[in-house]
Every structure is written in C-alpha cells, then in structure tokens.
Copies of this chain bind each other. A is one copy, B any other.
Amino acid sequence: MFESAEIGHKTEKADYDEALPLLRTRLLDAQFDLLEQKGFAVVVLINGIDGAGKGETVNLLNAWMDPRHIEAWAFDVPSSEEAERPHMWRFWRALPPRGKVGILFGNWYTDPIRARMDRSSKRAELDQHLDAINRFEAMLVHEGVLLIKLWFHLSKKAQKLRLEALEGDPRTRWRVTDQDWRYYKLYERYREVAEHGLRRTSTGDAPWIIVDGTDPRYRALFVGRTLLDAIGRRLEAASGHWVTRQTSPPLPSVLDKRNYLNALDLDKPLGKKAYEEVLESLQGRLALLTRDEAFACRSLVLVFEGVDAAGKGGAIRRVTAAIDARRYRIIPIGAPSDEEQAKPYLWRFWRQLPRRGKVAIFDRSWYGRVLVERVEGLCSEADWMRAYAEINDFEDELVDAGAVVVKFWLAIDRDEQLARFKARESLPHKRFKITDEDWRNREKWDDYEQAVCDMIDRTSTETSPWTVVEANNKYFARIKVLRAICERLESALRY
C-alpha cells in the first residue's frame, strides 16, 4: 500500500502559494454546490501514523472551508454516554447530513488496529472486525454517503526525523510523548498491521487513499485536491442521469510528477561477461529448486508484466532454460477468447493454475484488468476499482493452497522503448513483434504509468509482493528476475 508514499514528494513554497488560492476557491464552490444539491453527505476518515500531519491537515481544512457546513470530530476515550451504548453509537452521532462534510479523526479503524498492535486481539478477530467494517461502509455507500478514507503515512526514517524535529523545537516539544517513541520502535509491526487492515478494507466503493505525510505543503495540496476531485465528480454524476448513482472517490494522481516508477534509476550496470557467469549459477540454483522434494507439494506462479519491448520474453526464456520442460507452461495472455469472454474475467486464469510440483508462467496476466482494460476503457471504472480487492483475494487463495506467487514489473523508460522499437523495425526476424498498436500504446505512456503505480500500491501484499525490475539493461533485468525467483522459492521451501 505504501510504495508510492515512501518515495518523498515535495512542493516548493512558491508553487504552494500559487496553487492555494484557486484550490480554496474551488473547495468553497464545491462545498456550496454540495449544500445546494443536498444529494449526499461527505465523510472524510483521517487515520494514519503519528507525526504524519493528521491534526494539521484537519486544521487546514477547517480554515479553508466554510466552517458552518463542515464538522470535525475527534474520538478519544469514550465518554460515559458513549461507553454505555454500542461501540458504533459515537460514530453514528457524528454522521453529517446530506449536503455537509464530516471529518472523523480517529474512528472505527482506530480500536481494531490498536488492539492488534498491542497483541490484545488475534488476527482472526481483527479480520472479523474488518469484515464488519466493510459491511458498515457498504451500507453507508448504499445510503449515498461519499466516503473518503485518508491514511497519512511516513517512512520510518521520515517519522524519526519528524519526531526529532518536534522535540528539538521548544514550542512543539510537548507534542512528543513516550508513547510516540514506543510506537516508533514498533514501526515495522505497525506498518504490517496497517497494511493488512488497509488492504482488507480497500474496496471498490471506498478505497483507501494514502497521503505522503513528509512534506506539509505537498500533503496539504494533495488532501485538498483529493477532496475537491471526489466531491466534484460525485456532484457531476448526480446531475447527469446517465451515470451511476454512486461514484467512489477517484484515485488521486501525484502533484509533483514524481511517482514510484520514475523515481527509480532504471540504468543498472551489468556487463555481458559478469551476466553470463551469474546467469549460469542462478539457473543451476533454480533447476535444483524445482527438482527439490519439497517443491512436489508446492507450485510456482510467475507473472510477467511490463510495457511493450520491456524484455518479458527474454527474461522468461532465461527462466525456462533452467526448468524441465515437463514441469512448466508459458501462458501468453492476449485478448480473451469468446469462451473466456462469456465468464467472469478471472476464469481464464483459474483454468490455467498449475498442479503441485508445476510452474505456470504468465506472460501478461490478470493485471490486464487494472492496466490495459483501465487505460483503454475496456471495462468501467467501477469494474477495475473493485478488481484490486478481487485480485488480492485470488492471490491469497493461491498462496493458501501452497503456491509461490512471484510478480515482476519490468520497467524501462520512454527513450529505451523507442530505441528498442526502432531496433525491432530494422531487424527482419523481429519486425513482426512491432505493430501499430504498440505505437498507439506509447502515446498513453503517462496513463499507463499512473495505472502501474496504483497497481503496485494496491496489490503488493505481504504474501505476494511485486518485484519491480529496472530493465533498461536486459542483463541486469534477467539476473534480478532469476535471483528473485530463487530467493522466494528458497524461503518457501525453508532452505
């Protein structure tokens, strides 16, 4: 969930000062339209890590918007009024009416996550809580509430810097408590519990939106823009009858052109000679692993995704070279057949799942739903929004059944793709590999990049994480792929 929020976004003061007046005007306009139309209520959930600017952001929103029609609630220790009624009573009290905005700061997520942090609840209990929350939120959405769930995040390093900065300033020293440092020490656990909780409750109708809390200006603009987009789009949907009644908040795009992919250094050095040596040893390792006794009760599912000419085929060949041909199958995924189109979209992948002791290599995969189908408009936004959770469930089932799922995004940059396209065109035996469609896809580069970042954020899970491969250098890419497979297999087979 946190990949994109940990690369460090920043907004300069000059940019902030320039963007702010317009943002505030538009937020006020949206608030006024909302009040006029009275079609739906807006509930903003504010959650996340300490020190990531939750309080400051709520203060800003209060200052920016008309305070008569926005109400912020903080939930601390329950009052006696609250403690004597069902748990959810205090939150029902705080629900805004249609036409207004309610900010719920510390809410129905706080207790279940804290209980799991403190190990006073078990994983199954947390999951039961989260499922109850899902049912509750689905009800809110059905009742017409626009639910915007914001999670404020900091990397461990950023949290440390932030706590130290607060402590170092006499005016803010009081804000840092022992509890804060205690939680900081539990950072990894907190991140893991939070990630699980967010993933489980990030639904198509009410997805979590992660706010990078590092830079106050970036964070403020990001939250303001997210609210504005969500409210604006919903107002628009309500005024036209041709759109569905409910729309979830749109996934926000970055404000500073910096994203998870373009923050990577794609040119990793590796010479041919070194490559060949390492290749051979890794292929040997992989060959042994797939012939290992322990692998007979497991299976291996490999997913290769990447833009055209990213080197998927080449990488796959280096993998298969190490495996007995009776053991693996390569499944190239193109347009679905008639038969496949007549079934739910995951059916074509379920039918290809490997038995124990076997390897299935998907050359493109179910991620087409949130990549090409999203960008090309081949399915509705509601369809691809719910797909993140569906895909996570699908991969959970694979892992529960003993499969090792390794997913690769082969990342090349625009120039490298152009060079490869041109090279392909000039080689007679590769010319068939380049089509008009490839050139057309290239024009949508930015849309694809956004889709890839969202995909990595929302489907890189504890049990089946994405491996992003810097692939401008093919040698480096192939080695990284093989090494990742070997390492994941070794840890699964308990070497």
Chain A residues in contact with chain B, CB under 8 A? 38, 41, 81, 84-89, 92-93, 95, 97-99, 124-125, 127-128, 131-132, 135-136, 139-140, 142-145, 299, 339, 342-347, 350-351, 353-356, 382-383, 386, 389-390, 393, 397-398, 400-401, 403
Contacts and interface: CB of A to CB of B under 8 A. Distances in A.
Contacts of A345: 143
Contacts of A132: 393
A245 to B, nearest CB: 9
Given A84-B356, A128-B124, A344 B95 contact: yes
Given A95-B343, A145-B344, A342-B99, A139 B386 contact: yes
Question: What 6 A-B pairs come out closest when comparing CB atoms?
Answer: A97-B342, A143-B344, A86-B401, A92-B350, A84-B355, A131-B131
Count this chain's copies in the assembly. Answer: 2
Contacts of A144: 344
Nearest to A348: B92
Contacts of A93: 350-351
A88 B401 CA distance: 10
Contacts of A88: 350, 397
A386 B86 contact: no
Contacts of A351: 92-93
Given A86-B398, A89-B353, 17 more contacts: A81-B355, A84-B356, A85-B353, A85-B354, A86-B353, A86-B403, A92-B346, A92-B347, A93-B351, A97-B339, A99-B342, A124-B124, A128-B131, A136-B393, A139-B344, A139-B386, A140-B344
Contacts of A99: 342
Contact of A342 (B41, B87, B346, B390): B41
A182 B239 CA distance: 61
A216 to B, nearest CB: 34
A42 to B, nearest CB: 13
Nearest to A40: B342
Contact of A383 (B142, B401, B403): B142
A140 B144 CA distance: 23
A221 to B, nearest CB: 31
A92 B349 CA distance: 10
Nearest to A350: B92
Nearest to A93: B351
Contacts of A401: 85-87
A124 to B, nearest CB: 5
Contacts of A400: 86-87
Given A84-B356, A95-B343, A98-B342, A386 B142 contact: yes
A143 B403 CA distance: 26
Nearest to A342: B97
A85 B135 CA distance: 30
27 contacts: A41-B342, A84-B299, A84-B356, A85-B353, A85-B354, A86-B353, A86-B397, A86-B400, A87-B400, A88-B350, A88-B397, A89-B350, A95-B344, A97-B339, A97-B342, A98-B343, A99-B342, A127-B131, A128-B128, A132-B393, A135-B393, A136-B393, A139-B344, A139-B390, A140-B344, A142-B382, A143-B344
A86 B390 CA distance: 15
B98 A135 contact: no
Contact of A135 (B38, B342, B383, B389): B389
Interface centre among A99, A140, A344 (most CB of B within 10 A): A344
A298 to B, nearest CB: 10
Nearest to A392: B135
A344 B92 CA distance: 9
A84 to B, nearest CB: 4
A38 B342 CA distance: 8
Nearest to A400: B86
B86 A343 contact: no
B95 A347 contact: yes
Contacts of A84: 299, 355-356
A68 B93 CA distance: 56
A428 B401 CA distance: 74
A401 B342 CA distance: 47
A87 B397 contact: yes
A157 to B, nearest CB: 36
A88 B351 CA distance: 11
Contacts of A350: 88-89, 92-93
